[in-house]
Amino acid sequence: MTDFTNQTVLVTGSSRGIGLAIAKAFDAAGAQLILHARSEIKPEVLAEFKQKPQTLQFDIADAEAAEASIKALYKQEGFEGIDVLVNNAGITKDQLAMAMAPADFANVVNVNLNGTFNVTQPIFKKMIRQKHGAIINLSSVVGLMGNMGQINYAASKAGIIGFTKSLAKEGARRGIRVNAIAPGMIVSDMTAVLPEETQAEILKNIPLSRFGEASEVADVALFLASNTYITGQTLTVDGGLYI
């Protein structure tokens, strides 16, 4: 396993699901974790970590709140900076295009895409000064191939891919690597609510004939954080859905 001892890792949206799995993987690899959520993280979740993580609580869509929280973090005595940032936080509000409320389109893009920028910019500035760092953005295969009923989500996740490529070019000369992960159908609260017939139909299009596990996305996050010659890339974790 890659050793992240003495490295500080911030994972947004890490109170459950893929974000929590990624945080646990870094914890197992020895990293000092900073967990983030919009609401307070439950004590029983924090108890699952080997090393007691620090927590941040703010809405990533609120640029001022994000900047203030991150600035306060860097002002803490003894804080040496963030080595790895994982932008995982995001939302869905699915609806067919003809029935989608403009507010629902704007809200999903604001949280998923603008929110990623709001968290990344103040940390990227610090990484530029420290001349190292890894940023991993969670996109989706939906951002690559589209999906009915998800024009807002698809737009936001496609935007993250462009965001990743552009930021990778800006950060490369300072030793900052920026990559994205595009998960497919992963076992989660989101997929659990899908009707059985819908799940069966989706499985027909997945060559590996199963949904992925959050831990399999986490493995890729550790790989991208540790490999020092990959940047600007989007790795799909989808069982072959986007072949």
The catalytic residue positions are 153
Q: Residue 78: which residues within 8 A CB-CB, separation 6 or more?
A: none
State both tokens at 140: 């989706």
State both tokens at 190: 């989101």
User: Is the Cβ–Cβ distance between 25 and 223 less than 8 Å?
Assistant: no
Integer Cα distance of 137 and 176 in angstroms: 13
Q: With CA atoms as reference, report the closest residue to 87 among 187, 29, 148, 19.
A: 19
What one-character-per-residue DSSP string does 107-171 give?
Answer: HHHIIIIIHHHHHHHHHHHHHHHHT-EEEEEE--THHHH--TT-HHHHHHHHHHHHHHHHHHHHH
* CA distances in angstroms from 152 to 31, 156, 159, listed in the order given: 34, 6, 11
Indicate the length of the chain as a whole number.
243
Q: With CA atoms as reference, report the closest residue to 142 among 182, 104, 173, 106.
A: 182
User: Exposed, middle or buried by CB within 10 Å (0-12, 13-18, 19+), for 49?
Assistant: middle
